[in-house]
Amino acid sequence: MDKNKIKIILILLVIILVICTIFIIYSLNKKAEDKTQINIIKKTEPIETTENNIKDVQTYEDYFIVNSAVNKFLTYNSMGNSEAVYALLDKDFIDKNNITKENVLEKLGNIKKTEILINKMDYQEINEFNAKYTIEGFLYNKEQSEYEDKYDENIKREYEDIKLEMLIDKYNGTFSLIPKL
């Protein structure tokens, strides 16, 4: 073979190798994005739980996932984004309380606080992939320090108590919220 044919073959091999590498990197990034993306639970059957398997949340990962989702809900609510708030709510909760995209903020009391200080968080494993988290805490605006003592009477703050539940589908990477009205 002459040198030109060898060069052409090598160039074609390099091009094919670069294309394959780009495809593999893209596929791996896409899978990573799919795993981290949080969507909304679309339930097809009601979830039943029992009180005997309630556990305190022990991992930082669970805490921060739940905390982030609740703060997203609070941010949408404080901004008046009724469609986004509606999308984060549990379907059964929406049906039970006759909530629509138009009345969701009114039904939830139009919460204006943007952050949560979680006081207590526990969870129930519903099955291998689903869990129900119960969250209790205090709502505050971001300007306030989350480390301030809520019970110090000498410092004026605006805290609101909140209790809600969050259903997480770990298989699909989805969640939905159930505020306790």
Q: pLDDT tens-digit profile of 124-136?
A: 988 888 899 999 9
Same domain, 124 and 81: yes
pLDDT, position 52 = 62
Same domain, 70 and 11: no
The residue type at 154: N
Same domain, 46 and 127: yes
Same domain, 30 and 93: no
Same domain, 20 and 104: no
Domain count, the chain: 2
Mapping DSSP to helix (H, G, I), strand (E, B) and coil, where does residue 57 land? coil
Q: What is the 3-state secondary structure (H, E, C) of 115-142?
A: EEEEEEEEEEECCCCEEEEEEEEEEECC
Same domain, 33 and 51: no
Whether 45 has a pLDDT exceeding 50, the answer reads: no
Same domain, 26 and 98: no
The distance between the two most distant Cα atoms of the chain, rounded to a whole number of Å, is 90
Range of the domain at 19: 1-37
Rounded Cα distance between 164 and 171, Å, is 22
* Long-range contacts (CB closer than 8 Å, 24 or more residues apart) made by 58-62: 62/121, 62/123, 62/133
State the pLDDT confidence band at 147, using cuts at 50, 70 and 90: low
Q: What is the pTM of this model?
A: 0.62
